[in-house]
Structure 1
Amino acid sequence: MSLAEILLAVLVVSLTTQSTNVSSLRQIITRNVTAVQLNQGNIMEIIEEQTCSTALIRLTCRSLTSFVFVLEALYQPNRTDACIYNRDSWCKYRSLFVMVRNLQLRRNFLRGSYEHERISLDFRDTINRRCSGHHHCQYKVMSDHPEALFWIPANIRIKYACIPETSVYKYCNAEVNVPNNEGGYLKSPGYPLYYLGGITCGWTFRSIPGQRIVLTFHDLSIRDHEADGSCIDIVRVRDDGNTLFESCGTAAGVKIISNTNVVTLNLVASARLYPARGFFLQYQVLGCPNVIAPPGSYVSNGTLETRTFLCRAGTLFPDTRQRTRTVHCAGGQWIENIPNLPACVRSSDSIVNNETDSTKKIIGSLDGGINRSYEGILGQETRRGRGPVDKIKIINYSIMEQAQPAVIKDTDYVVDVILPTILIALLFVGNAVIVYIIFQYRKRNVENHFRKTTDTQGEEIVLSATRNGDPQV
């Protein structure tokens, strides 16, 4: 061992001791607990804690029949409000840290990503190794995570769940039906102490056609890669003959979304028993079931959350008077009752139907008003001592009185106003022409009669003068 390596080892030990002094100071811990209802009446607790990276963290389930799985574990170098430490101790730690880090970089150590950009870092891999699958555990970032020794004290946020054993499926070679708006949890046999090999161990997840299945590996730990990069033990996810995921080693938070409603998961292991945790995952459905488009339409656009129906050319939906209609998915179910959607109709039919509907509404409102008027009028006229005939006359008058304003207001203006006006005007013009013709005809008859009368009188005068011997002029 060279002198530089010995010096580096001594400095690392000193840095570890100094970090212990820093971490012995006070930290602020915030804790939030939420309860989630699972199937079979079980309750899962979700705990979220935020504290300093130098703190000792205890993950504990209150129920003895529950175990821990980690949802989130983040180091936040941009936030330090949860860390309270002595300024002198921190300055000594910081100067020693810089010295060790510079020496490491000279020895060709890689610079960590947290040194390039002050972004949040995920350390679920190491906390899973100590805590996932157990009832309780203790975890300290600065000693349990490899790079944490060179982190500056800052906030960490850990979110984990305590799930009852009875809510987790744990048997091989089974078909798991995933109903609407529900999911579940599954672990490999032996988790978190070991996993089995030498046998076929697989699962088939099935949902309603049209939906997709989401598998989230909260913890995956099987035999690591070989030196040449090959895998002896494999976790494989397949969908309709296509491989969606294939891996070995350790992972956390891996999410796989299927393309169909059926997906298969297989654990292929060579040894009969291997001392690694295996895996723990959550399965859920995504999207809504397939639907049949209303008569006269087809699906023009479809996503996991929506379907858009388009009526064929020249037709539309009668209730909206639009060619397109979009329905939305929420919680694994369509918000609208798609089988009850109206069929597409021709545009003219839609107009007629809407006019009919409006007429029915008018009649319905009139009926309601008429019935109320009838009851009131009938009571009044009965008190006045009028007979049934008088009552009917009054009711008919009331009907006409209420119907006329409503009809004038809601019926088609062209049909009920303009056309009658034109017809009346034509009738007036026609009558005027007929009267004029009759007047001219009668006038001509009077003139002819007057001429005939004058000629007859002249002839009679001449004849009379002839008889009397008067000379003709």
Structure 2
Amino acid sequence: MAYEAALAGGVGLAREAGLGWEAVAWRLPGPTTDSRLREGEEVTRYCSEVLTSQHGYLSNPGYPHYYPGDLNCSWHIRVDEGQRLRIRVHDLSVRGVRQGTAGCTDFLRVAEGRRLLSLDCGDLERPLVLTSRGPEVTVTLWGEGQPLYPHRGTLVQYTAVGCPSPSPPRDGYSVHRNATHAHFSCCVNFVFADTLKKDRLLRCVDGHGWNDSLPRQCIDVRILMEFANATVRRILEQNLVTPRPEVRPVLQRGGSMFVDTILPSIIMVVLILGNCVIVAIIMKYRKRDRPTPPSRELVDLSEPDPDSV
């Protein structure tokens, strides 16, 4: 009750001075967060943020003095592919299950897509540690009712677990990345200068670092073949790295007997047979259309015999 009275009195003073809720809340006493934060760490206090750093803290506006009771405050945390997220809830103080209700009206929810990692309300007695399966997690502080509640809200720390993804080299790209390996490749006609190879496979060691370095850029094979010494050129040939020609190659006839002799003969025979069939069909239809000559009997009947007269 004393806290609510102080809040009401502070609101009156703030209204007279033209200040808002934030100014009132920070005048009220509350627990400090210095013991929970590393030196020099910054806390994300704005809602609806997308966080992509490897490590950080987040809290609701007004922490540790109040939390908004009519605000859906959420944060989407995303790290590199192949990594996981470790979520540590250092502090949670919101309204608990009220009398006559079946569940929490105000709560902190941690979810990985549709997979629920945690759903809590009330006061947290000890830090809660959660670990995701993938690289993305959504943290939501949900409140209903009046604009402000005299509770601290929440303080959450997130840390990426696993090796961070190196940036792809210039004239190269990332082929595949998972929790244990990362595969990079150079573009066509480019290789890594230190190995003279097109591909490089990195292995994550103990979830902290990679077993090998990744150069910042790939080098053009054509430059190496023109200016490098004989040893480098021999290594490139052994690695089967052959530059693609600048112009389209001219197709040349090979020495295949089938292509040069047999195939043309087959085509000629097919054409000749086809022509013979066509000629036979034409001749058949011409014979059908030729007129039939009159019979001799009809001629004899049309001309009278002179001896019979």
If the length of structure 1 is used for normalisation, what is the TM-score?
0.30
Larger Rg: 1
Q: Which structure ranks higher in relative contact order (CA pairs < 8 Å, sequence separation ≥ 6)?
A: 2
In terms of fraction of residues, the more helix-rich structure is: 1
If the length of structure 2 is used for normalisation, what is the TM-score?
0.44
